[in-house]
Amino acid sequence: MGKRSRFMYVIDHVKEELTTALAQAVAKAVQEGSLPEEMREAQIQLEVPREEAHGDWATNLAMTSARIARCAPRKIAETIVQNLDTEGTFIDQVEIAGPGFINFRLRPDWLLEVVKEIEAKGEAYGRRDIGAGRKVQVEFVSANPTGPLHVGHGRGAVVGSVLSNLLEAAGFLVTREYYINDAGNQIVNFGLSLEARYFQALGQDVPVPEQGYHGEDLKELMAEVAAEKGDFYLKMDPEERRKALTELALERKLADIKRDLADFGVTFDHWFSESKLHAEGAIKATVQKLKEEGSIYESEGALWLKSTDYGDDKDRVVIRENGVPTYLAADLAYHKNKFERGFDTVINVWGADHHGYIPRMKAGVAALGYDPDRLEILIVQLVNLLRDGEPVVMSKRTGKLVTLAEVIEEVGKDAARYFFIMRSADSHLDFDLSLAAAHTEENPVFYIQYAHARISSILRQAQELGQIPRLLERKPLSDVVDLAQVNLSLLASEVERALLKKLAFWPEEVAVAALNREPHRIARYAHDLAGSFHSFYNACRVITDDPELTLARLFLVDATGIVLRSALGILGVSAPDRM
RNA sequence: GCGCCUGUAGCUCAGGGGAUAGAGCAACGGACUUCUAAUCCGUGGGUCGUAGGUUCGAUUCCUACCAGGCGCGCCA
C-alpha cells in the first residue's frame, strides 16, 4: 500500500487511484459509445476542494471536456460516474455537484496509513525523487568581500540555503556555491581605500578616494594592521603595498563573512574565486569561444557581445577599450565553468537590484551554446528593515547599513531565518526587528517551536508515567512500541483527522515547493502544521487512563513531531524540546 | 521613456481558471484543579488597485491605465 517505491507515499497512491479510476471510466464510456472518442485526450486534474462539504478530492473533468464532448457537463459527469469502478480503492463516495464537479470522499482509514508510513520512514518521510539525482548548483549571497554582510544579504542567504535544502529533500544533488568577486575594478578601488586608511592610521592625512569604500570596518581593520605591523607597508613600492594590503584585507573580510554566515546556519560547498578565472585565462578562452560562435564584434575600440541576437535589448561590452574585461566577461567565464562542471541546472539567487542583468546573462549563456533554460535566476525582492513599525534607514553618514551580524545578535538565528523565508521571494519584505525579537505573543517562529516543545513534553511524560518504554531522543515511537498492536482507528475526531490530513500532504508540499522553487511554502506549511497540532492539543487530552486511546494519540503526536522536525530542518530552524 | 516585482480584511501577507476568498496580528467575548495559556475556541471585518478582453466560469490568464518598490554604465 503506497510502498511500491521508496518515494511513493499514501497521498500519491490516493491520487493515482483517483486518476486511474477516472481514466478507466472515461475509456469504458468511450468504448460503449456513451462518450465521444475525443474524450480519451482529456486531461485529468485533481484538486482539494476548499469546502469540507465537497469531499476530499474533486475533479473538473466534466466541465473542461464539455466543449470537446459537445455535451452538458453534468451529463458527462453522470456518464463518468456510472462507469467508475472504485472496487478495492480508498474511494468511498462519489457525487456530482455544482456546475459539474465530481467530488470524492475517501474511506476514513486512508489517514491511518499515514501514521504507519511516517513511523516507518522517520524523517525520510516526505523525501522525493523528482530530482532523480540531477546535479543542481545554487549560487547565492556572493556578496563583495569588500565590506560586511548587511540585512539585504540575509534574505538571499536564507532563500538560497532553504532552497538548497529543499531541492536536496526533493532528490537533487545540490552544490551550494559562493562567488567571490575578488578581482576587477572594485578591487583596485578597495586597495586604494585600504591604503588611504592605512596612512590615516599612521597619522597621515590621505583621503579615501571618491569611488572607494568608506565603511568604518576598513578604517578599523587598517588601524589594527597599523598597530600590528607599524610602518612596515610604508616603505614598500605603492603597487606592492596595495597588493599586500588587499590580500590581507580580503582574507580577513572573507573570514568575517564565513563566520557570519556560519552563525546564520548558512554553509557552502564551494567558495569560487573570480581571480582564479583571470589567472587561468578562462576569460580569454570564453571570449575566444564567443568569437568563434560569431557573437563578438569590435566597435569603438571595445569588444561587444551580440546579446541582442539572444533577446537582450542592447549589445554589451565584454572587453573595454583599455583591454580590461568587464564584470560580464568574468561572469560568462564563470557560467561556462559551471556548465563544464556538469551541472544540469544552475540556479542563481539575486537581489532585485540585479534583475536588469538577467537578459544579458541568459543571452551570454545561449551564445556559449548552452540552453538558457538551464540557468534559472531567482530574484529576491528587497528588505525594508523596521523597528516598532518605523523604518530603520541608514545608520551613519557613510551610508552604513545594519549588518547581518547585528540582526542575528538582536533577534536570534531562528527568528531571523524564519522571517526571511516566510514570504514569497517576489514579495517585498517588511522585517520588523522588534516583532522578530519578541519572545512572547505574536511571533510565528515561537508558535511553531512551541508545538515541537509540547510534543517532546508529552512524550517525556508518557515515558515517566511508564505508558511507553524509554525512547531514544528523536527516534520513532515505533522503535519501542509495536505499531501493529495499536488501534489507530481511535483517531477519529475532527481535530485528529485534520491533523492527520495535514501530515498526509507533507510529501506533496515538498514536491510542489521544490518544483516551483518556492521555499517559503515550507515555512507556511510548518506554521499550519503547528496550528493543527495546537488545536488538537487543546481539544484532545493525550495521556489518559484509557491505555488504548493514549497509545493511538501518542503515535499521532510522535508522527507530528517527526514531520515538524523535517520541515524545521529544511528551514534551518531549531526544534527545541522545551521552551 | 523602457523593463522587472508588487497592489487581496485596519496592519503584514498567503492563495489561486472553478462551487460561500484565507492566515497571523490588531479589536471584541470566552477557556488554565487536567500532558507547557508562548496555546485554544468564538465574533466582527473584503467592489481581491481601476477599466476592458478571453472563458461555461476570472480575484487568478491577456491588454491598457493608476499607485508603490527596484533597475536601465566600457560599475559590480
| pLDDT for position A38 | 87
CA angle A5, A347, A135 (to 5 degrees): 40
CB proximity list for A251: less than 8 A, separation 6 or greater: none
* Strand B proximal residues, A:33-52, Cβ < 7 Å: 47, 49-51
Q: For chain A, which domains are there? A: 10-107 (3.30.1360.70), 138-179+266-380 (3.40.50.620), 185-263 (no CATH), 442-571 (1.10.730.10)
Residue-wise DSSP of A126-183: T---TTTT-EEEEE-----TTS--BHHHHHHHHHHHHHHHHHHHTT-EEEEEEEE--S
Asked whether strand B has any atom less than 7 Å from the CB of A428, the reply is yes
Q: Which residue has the cell 587598517?
A: A222
Q: Is the CB of A457 under 7 A from strand B?
A: yes
> Which residues share a beta bridge with A68?
none
Amino acid identity for residue A465 in this structure: L
Determine the nucleotide nearest to A319 by Cα–C1' distance.
Answer: B74
- Residue A537 has a pLDDT of 96
CB of A294 closer than 8 Å to CB of A350: no
Task: Point out the residue nearest to B70 (C-alpha to C1').
Answer: A353
Q: State the pLDDT at residue A52.
A: 85
Asked if A349 and A142 touch (Cβ cutoff 8 Å), the reply is: no
Does any strand B atom come closer than 7 Å to the Cβ of A401?
no
pLDDT score at A135 = 98
**How far, CA to CA in Å, does A201 sit from each of A62, A204, A205, A219, A399?**
79, 7, 9, 8, 22
pLDDT of residue A296: 97
The residue ranges of chain A whose pLDDT is under 70 are: 1-5, 393-400, 439-442
Is the ipTM beyond the 0.85 threshold? yes
Q: In the block, which residue shows the cell 541576437?
A: A309
DSSP state, residue A403: B
Q: State which residues between 49 and 78 of chain A bring their CB within 7 Å of strand B.
A: 49-51, 53-55, 58, 60, 63-64, 66-67, 73
The integer distance in angstroms from the CA atom of A56 to the C1' atom of B27 is: 35
Q: Answer whether A438's CB lies under 8 Å from A520's CB.
A: no
- What distance in Å separates the CA atoms of residue A86 and residue A94, rounded to the nearest whole number? 9
CA-to-CA distance for A31 and A406, rounded, in angstroms? 70
Measuring CA to CA, how many Å separate A533 from each of A239, A333, A497, A502? 64, 50, 11, 10
Q: Torsions phi, psi of A376, nearest 5?
A: -110, 135
Residue A224's alpha-carbon distances to A39, A215, A227, A238, in angstroms, are 77, 15, 5, 20
Distance of CA A193 to the CA centre of its chain: 37
Helix A151-169 × helix A506-515 angle, to 10°:
120
- What's residue A171's pLDDT? 96
Q: What's the CA–C1' distance between A46 and B61, in Å?
A: 20
In this complex, the answer to whether residue A310 has its CB under 7 A from any atom of chain B, a nucleic strand, is no
d(CA A139, CA A19) in angstroms, rounded, equals: 38
Q: Residues A65-123: pLDDT tens digits?
A: 888 888 889 999 999 999 999 999 999 999 999 889 999 999 999 999 999 999 999 99
Q: Strand B: which positions are within 7 A of a protein CB?
A: 2-7, 12-15, 17-26, 31, 34-41, 56-57, 68-76
Give the Cβ contact number of residue A384 at 10 Å. 14
Question: What distance in Å separates the CA atoms of residue A378 and residue A459, rounded to the nearest whole number?
Answer: 41
φ, ψ for residue A479, nearest 5 deg: -65, -30
Cβ-contact A192, A212 below 8 angstroms = yes
| Torsion sign, CA atoms A414, A416, A421, A422 | positive
Number of neighbours of residue A219 by Cβ within 10 angstroms: 20
Q: In the prediction, which pLDDT does A3 show?
A: 43
Nearest protein residue, CA measured to C1' of B3: A356
The amino acid at residue A320 is R
| Residue A354: CB less than 7 A from any atom in strand B | yes
Q: Is the CB of A235 under 7 A from strand B?
A: no
What pLDDT shows up at residue A5?
60
Cβ distance A23 to A44 under 8 Å? yes
Contact by Cβ (8 Å): A558, A459: yes
Q: Are A418 and A444 in contact (CB under 8 A)?
A: yes
- Whole-angstrom distance, CA of residue A70 vs CA of residue A76: 9
Comparing C-alpha atoms, which of A380, A325, A317, A315 is closest to residue A347? A380
C-alpha A493: how far from chain center: 34
pLDDT on residue A51: 86
Q: How far is the CA of A497 from the C1' of B45 (A)?
A: 30
Q: What is the DSSP string of A519-536?
A: THHHHHHHHHHHHHHHHH
Residues 147-176 of A with CB under 7 A from strand B: none
Cβ atoms within 10 A of the Cβ of A184, count? 18
> Nearest-CA neighbor of A158 among A420, A401, A359?
A420
Write out the three cell numbers for A268.
557552502
Spatial distance from the CA of A427 to the C1' of B55 (Å): 29
Q: Supply A515's cell numbers.
A: 518544483
pLDDT for A394 equals 55
**Contact flag, residue A447 CB and nucleic strand B, below 7 A:** yes
Written as one letter, the residue type at A458 is I
- Between CA A487 and CA A162 the distance in angstroms is 37
Task: Identify the bridge partners of residue A57 per DSSP, sorted by sequence position.
Answer: A104
Q: How far apart are CA A102 and CA A95, in angstroms?
A: 6
Q: Which three cell numbers stand for residue A138?
A: 545554487
The grid coordinates of residue A469 equal 518504554
- Give the span between the Cα atoms of A370 and A105, in whole angstroms: 48
Nucleotide closest in space to A54 (CA vs C1'): B19
Q: Which of residues 489-518 of A touch strand B (CB under 7 A)?
A: 518
Helix (H) or strand (E) holding A239: helix A238-263
DSSP alpha helix (H) spans, A341-493:
358-367, 404-411, 413-421, 433-437, 444-464
- Distance between CA atoms of A287 and A332, rounded to whole angstroms? 9
pLDDT of A397: 43
Residue A236, SS3 per DSSP? coil
